Structure 1
Amino acid sequence: MKAFFILFLLLPVVAFSQINQTDSNGLRQGRWQKMQPNGKPMYDGYFKDGKPVGEWKRFHENGRIKANISYKTGSDSAFTVLFDETGKKMAEGVFLGEQKAGLWKYFSENKVIAEETFEKGIKNGKSRKFYSTGELWEETDWKEGKQEGSYQVFFKNGKPFFQCKMSNNQRNGLCLSYFENGRVELEAAYKNGLRHGEWKYFDNQGNHRYSLFYNEGEILNPNVRDSIANQQILDMEKGKDSVIDPEKYLSDPTEYMEKAKIRR
């Protein structure tokens, strides 16, 4: 009976001694745990021949789960779910080694708010942002970490709000912004990120209002621009114009949508 009691007391010691073990070659084997200075866990998982395998957990300083990691057998691929300090899911996707790979999804209140595609830790492919109700808000093409191809912003009803072609992170060619009824509000020409060529402005019935002309960023008819600006000031003073000038926020269409209270 006494021997059994002593064995019972030794069990926790034996169990603990089987954690955080290395083999004769110095490779980590079996279950490993590490604690934070505050006594809460930092991580808990398994190694085989020095490589993490199976299910892993990492923790925030407050002890809540920071990441659930599932390693694929025989691979450096690990499906990972990330959480904030309150326990809410923030993101999920695959790490290949220490780099993001493939599709990553980002969450707010358990709803997908954004998606990004990675190759060797660099954005490559399409990224998307969504309205809180799930509709597509913004879509961007990436190549080797740079905006390359199409960039689009959408109204909640699915119609385009802004469309542009990107090359090496710069606008090139014709960019279009739209009224919510689907008619073009502005045709804006770019060359290597600079305003270049004719910029056509329309009203919401499709009628051409005026044009501005640019040469590599320099305006060629400033008298027209100044006249329009003065008229806008007069209209605002008379309370006729409560709509934000689209050109003012053309550098950031999503900011324009926020300012104009279009995005909800």
Structure 2
Amino acid sequence: MRYLIFFFLCSPFLVSAQDTIFFNSNWLIGDKENASYYSTIIPLNGQKYQVKDYSINGELLSECDYKALKQAVDWTRIYEKGFHEWAVEDGVCTEFYPSGNKKKQFEFKNGVQHGKVQMWREDGSLLRSYTAINQLANGNYKEYLADESLSFAVNFLNDTLHGLATYYYPNGKISQKGTFKSGLKYGKWQYFSEKGENVGSEMYRNVFFIAGPDIKIHFPNGLWCLSDQYEEDNRINFLFTRSGIKEDLKTEFVPTCLVSLEEVGENTRLLDYSSARRRRLSVDVHKVISKDQHLFSLPNTMGYLASYIDKGKNKHAAIVTHSVQNNIGVELILDLRQEDYEDLKSEIVTIIRTLNR
């Protein structure tokens, strides 16, 4: 029996009653007199423990369930690298505001965040909720306004936006809805007024088919969308905008691609159509794109490099192509800031090169 007693006396971290450990301002073990924080280690059942962290004045900061992996756990090293050799989070972990209201609550399984996640504002209102699987957001993700009505509801797949998404006005009406695919907008997106009226839509796809000339236009990386379609001066216009990730550009200007169609007659030559359109363009043409560059997959097509200065005295690069297909003149104008040209050059080449029937 005395050997058993000696074993317990020599194992102070085998907690059989509540232990208190004091830490300095860096959460390293320290003495009580100079401590900034302290933790209590409370045995639950089996190998389960609850750890509660406090400021030195007794303010509860967090509480978390742990599972011991070894019989002897050195709880003094709980916030040091490598502690997971002794014990891991397993169960519910909660952080608190100074008021005592919950701030965050997570679920863990064998040291990995796995389960429901909730976050609150300091006044106690719910801010967001989602599910984590292997520490990554998966499934429905919701954020709430101060009155806990929905701000938006989206879906995640392994921490990436993927699936249906709906955004709301404070009055509860839908402001926009659509679908994400691998983090980017995809398919049809609809936009609404606060009264619920449909005010517009965008179409996100990698490939768009335009009837009449029967051509396909390809946009790389899913960053472009069909934002408008309208008729003007007997011309049908399709306006595409680069509405995806903007962090890769130097300016805030949104690049556009305008495709315009008009009937030109059965005997209209490409050169005649292109010359007529050039006279009407408000850009300075600098260079004809040589056929030797092999940029045009679409037969009966030619192009130009151009530029212009906008009202804000910003220089724009413009790439213009003209084509005649099925007795329809097709004009494509890519418009972007000169500073963004090099960053977008590969996208521009892809758009022009993949324009085909």
Contact 1:138/1:154 (8 A) holds in 2: yes
TM-score (norm 2): 0.48
Matched, 1:180 2:170: yes
Q: 2:189 pairs with 169, 190, 199, which one?
A: 199
Secondary structure in structure 2 of the residue aligned to 1:29: helix
Matched, 1:68 2:65: no
Any residues of structure 2 matched to 1:97-246 within 5 Å, and which? 97=68, 98-109=87-98, 110-215=100-205, 217-221=222-226, 223=239, 225=241
TM-score (norm 1): 0.64
Matched, 1:56 2:19: yes
Q: CA deviation at 1:82?
A: 0.8
Deviates more, 1:202-211 or 1:59-68: 59-68
Higher RCO (C-alpha under 8 Å, 6+ residues apart): 2
Q: CA deviation at 1:86?
A: 5.2
Structure 2 distance, partners of 1:224, 1:208, is 20
Q: Give the aligned partner of residue 9 of structure 2.
A: 30
Gapped regions of structure 2 (runs ≥ 5):
25-33, 69-86, 206-220, 228-238, 243-252, 255-357
Q: Give the aligned partner of residue 77 of structure 1.
A: 48
What do residues 26-53 of structure 1 show as CA deviations (whole Å, max 9, x unaligned)?
x853377xxxxxxxxxxxxx45xxx333
Structure 2 distance, partners of 1:152, 1:142, is 13
Contact 1:91/1:106 (8 A) holds in 2: yes
Structure 2 distance, partners of 1:66, 1:31, is 23
What do residues 69-113 of structure 1 show as CA deviations (whole Å, max 9, x unaligned)?
11235x221111012355421101211122111111110112211
Structure 2 distance, partners of 1:154, 1:197, is 26
Deviates more, 1:109-118 or 1:77-86: 77-86
Structure 1 distance, partners of 2:147, 2:10, is 52
Structure 2 distance, partners of 1:212, 1:113, is 38
User: In angstroms, what is the RMSD of aligned CA positions?
Assistant: 2.8
What do residues 157-180 of structure 1 show as CA deviations (whole Å, max 9, x unaligned)?
221101011112111121111001
Count, aligned residues: 190
Gapped regions of structure 1 (runs ≥ 5):
1-22, 33-45, 231-264
Report the AA paired with residue 93 of structure 2: W
Structure label with greater radius of gyration:
2
Q: Which runs of 4+ in 1 moved over 3 A?
A: 84-87, 222-226
Distance 1:31 1:72, change over 3 A: farther
Q: 2:63 pairs with 88, 92, 95, which one?
A: 92
Secondary structure in structure 2 of the residue aligned to 1:188: strand
Structure 1 distance, partners of 2:44, 2:168, is 46
Contact 1:101/1:118 (8 A) holds in 2: yes
Secondary structure in structure 2 of the residue aligned to 1:53: coil
Distance 1:213 1:96, change over 3 A: same
Q: Give the aligned partner of residue 328 of structure 2.
A: none
